[in-house]
Structure 1
Amino acid sequence: MAVGCLVTGHLPRIRKRTTPCATGTEDMTTQTTRPVESNAAEARTATFTAKATTPGRRTELSPTVTHVQSTVWQCNCITIRRPDHAVVIDSCWNSHDIEAVRDSIGGTTTTLLITHADIDHVCSVGFFPDAHVVMSPEGAARLADGSASRDLAVEGAKWGLDLRPNLRVDQVVGPDERFTVGDLHVSTVGARGHAFDGLGLFIEEEGLFAVGDYLMKSQHPMVWWSLTEARRSTERLLAAVGRFDPRWVVPGHGPILTPQEAIAVGEADLTYLEEVERVADEAHHAGVSPREWHLAVESVPVPRPCAPDIEMLSPRLLNVAATFRDRGVDGELTWTLNMA
Structure 2
Amino acid sequence: MSLHEVVPGVHAWVQPDGTWWLNNAGVVADGGQVLLVDTCATETRTRRFLAAVEQATGGGAVRLAVNTHQHGDHSYGNSLLPATTVIVGHEHMREGLRVDPVIDGCPPLWQPVPDWGAVTRRLPDVTVRDRLTIHVGQRRVDVAHPGGPAHTTGDLVAWLPRERVLFAGDLVFNGLTPLVFMGSVAGAAAALDWLAEFEPAHLVPGHGPLLTAAEITPVFDAIRRYLRLVRDTAEAGLRAGLTPLEAARGCDLGEFAGWADAERIVPNLHRAYADALGTDVDVVAALTDAVTWRGAPMATKV
> TM over 0.5, yes or no?
yes
Q: Where do residues 151-166 of structure 1 align in structure 2 (5 Å cutoff)?
A: 151-155=102-106, 158-166=113-121
Give the aligned residue type for 2:190. Answer: E
Q: Where do residues 15-26 of structure 1 align in structure 2 (5 Å cutoff)?
A: none
Identity of aligned residues (%): 18
Alignment partner of 1:299: what SS?
Answer: coil
Query: Which residue of 236, 255, 262 maps to 2:209?
Result: 255
Task: Give the unaligned 5+ runs of structure 2.
Answer: 298-302
Query: Which residue of 144, 153, 158 maps to 1:188?
Result: 144
1:124: Cα distance to partner?
2.7
Aligned CA-pair RMSD: 3.0
Alignment partner of 2:180: what SS?
Answer: coil
Q: Where do residues 137-148 of structure 1 align in structure 2 (5 Å cutoff)?
A: 137-145=91-99, 147=100
Give the aligned residue type for 1:95. Answer: T
Equivalence for 1:222: 179
| Alignment size in residue pairs | 272
User: 1:294–1:320: 8 Å Cα contact kept in structure 2?
Assistant: yes
Q: Is structure 2 residue 61 aligned with structure 1 residue 108? A: yes
CA deviations on 1:229-264 (whole Å, 9 max, x unpaired) are 2432333333332x3222211111111101331221
Change (3 A) 1:155 1:71: farther
C-alpha distance in structure 2 between counterparts of 1:143 and 1:288, whole Å:
32
Q: Where do residues 57-76 of structure 1 align in structure 2 (5 Å cutoff)?
A: 57-71=2-16, 73=18, 74-76=22-24
Rg comparison, structure with higher value: 1
CA deviations on 1:56-99 (whole Å, 9 max, x unpaired) are 22222232012222246352111111104211011234133233
Give the aligned residue type for 1:80. Answer: V
What TM-score do you get using the length of structure 1 for normalisation?
0.69
C-alpha distance in structure 1 between counterparts of 2:214 and 2:187, whole Å:
20
C-alpha distance in structure 2 between counterparts of 1:315 and 1:209, whole Å:
25
1:123: Cα distance to partner?
2.3
Alignment partner of 2:162: what SS?
Answer: helix
What TM-score do you get using the length of structure 2 for normalisation?
0.77
1:113: Cα distance to partner?
0.9
Give the aligned residue type for 2:89. Answer: M
Q: Return the structure number with greater relative CO, CA threshold 8 A, min gap 6.
A: 1
1:198: Cα distance to partner?
1.2
Change (3 A) 1:290 1:209: closer
Change (3 A) 1:189 1:237: farther
C-alpha distance in structure 1 between counterparts of 2:216 and 2:177, whole Å:
13
C-alpha distance in structure 2 between counterparts of 1:153 and 1:179, whole Å:
33
Alignment partner of 2:171: what SS?
Answer: coil
Q: Is structure 2 residue 105 aligned with structure 1 residue 169? A: no
1:178: Cα distance to partner?
4.1
Change (3 A) 1:283 1:132: same
C-alpha distance in structure 2 between counterparts of 1:66 and 1:132, whole Å:
20
1:302: Cα distance to partner?
4.6
Change (3 A) 1:289 1:169: closer
CA deviations on 1:6-33 (whole Å, 9 max, x unpaired) are xxxxxxxxxxxxxxxxxxxxxxxxxxxx
Give the aligned residue type for 1:62. Answer: V
Change (3 A) 1:290 1:203: closer
1:115: Cα distance to partner?
0.7
